[in-house]
Amino acid sequence: MPLDALTKIKNKIKEGEIVIGSHVTFNESCITEIFGDIGFDFVWIDKEHSPLDRQETLLHIMAARSAGTAAFVRIPWNDPVLAKPILEMGPQGIVFPFIKTAEEAETAVKSCTYPPAGIRGYGPRRADKYGLVDNREYIRNACSSVWKIIQIEHIEGVRNLGKILDVTGIDAIVVGPNDLSASMGLIGQTNHKKVKEAMDEIAKNVTDSGIPLGVSMGYESWDVVEEWLERGVNWIGIGIDFGFVVKTGLEVLNGTKKIAREHKRRQ
């Protein structure tokens, strides 16, 4: 039986390989399918900064499965009500943004966990293959089958990171450089010395804890990727669907204009 996408990711990390994914915001699920077919280990389906509705999110998750890649869904806020319907769709990871305290991290974990340890309401749909998975088996594996990902993207979260990392049930930590810089009064200045020092601090504490460390970033210079590798990152979410369209679109447009100008001069 082939390994599921999340197990593949866990095995890669154990073997010291870097797990690589990208971000999706457009409603068309074929984008997720393409990213999976390209070879990305996961697709970050972003509901925080996009107009994606529940049905579109479900189609992205289904497309990820068809392409053999993991679906990580970032919900708009750390709210059990927002997490519950996403969990029922059966993603391999759920990202809780703007976690600043241990109490908030506990709420996130409990949102993904059935009683008595958690507060997740029971009503699996796609998560248990619409009832095809034995009920006892599903309940036994439900919590471990989805990564509970805590996003640190505020300086208060950095200050409270030690207590956050003590929360039982966190499967991964991911850094959000842009909002972190904004919380420090340095919005957009992710290369600022103070922001880099904060990211270094996050990386040291997380890697020391043994919890997988990730970063969600744009398609920037390769130097930035190298910096994160030096910090000991285990997984990287890099680039975004509309960014790839804009970058390639500009390259094609400007390249064609240049060739046309050169052709005209030769006439």
| Cβ pair 105, 167 in contact under 8 A | yes
Residue 2 is predicted with a pLDDT of 61
Question: What radius of gyration do the chain's Cα atoms show?
Answer: 20
User: What is the fold of 5-266?
Assistant: TIM Barrel (3.20.20)
Closest CA to 41 of 67, 72, 14, 20: 20
pLDDT tens digits for range 116-126: 999 999 999 99
Residue 190 is predicted with a pLDDT of 97
Residues shown for the chain: 267
Q: What is the DSSP string of the chain?
A: -PPPHHHHHHHHHHTTPPEEEEEE-SS-THHHHHHHHHT-SEEEEE-SSS---HHHHHHHHHHHHHHT-EEEEE-SSS-HHHHHHHHHT--SEEEE----SHHHHHHHHHHTS-TTT--PPP--SGGGGGGTS-HHHHHHHTTTTSEEEEEE-SHHHHHTHHHHHTSTT--EEEE-HHHHHHHTT-TT-TTSHHHHHHHHHHHHHHHHHT--EEEEE-S--HHHHHHHHHHT-SEEEEEEHHHHHHHHHHHHHHHHHHHHHHHHHH-
Backbone phi and psi for residue 29, each to the nearest 5 degrees, phi listed first: -70, -15
List, in sequence order, every residue forming a beta bridge with 237; answer none if it has no partner.
21, 216
pLDDT lower than 70: segments of the chain: 1-2
pTM strictly above 0.85: yes
List, in sequence order, every residue forming a beta bridge with 73; answer none if it has no partner.
45, 94
Closest CA to 85 of 73, 69, 67: 73
Q: What gap in Å lies between CA 189 and CA 192, rounded to an integer?
A: 5
- The number of C-alpha atoms within 13 Å of 179 and in the hemisphere containing its C-beta is 18
Residue 1 is predicted with a pLDDT of 42
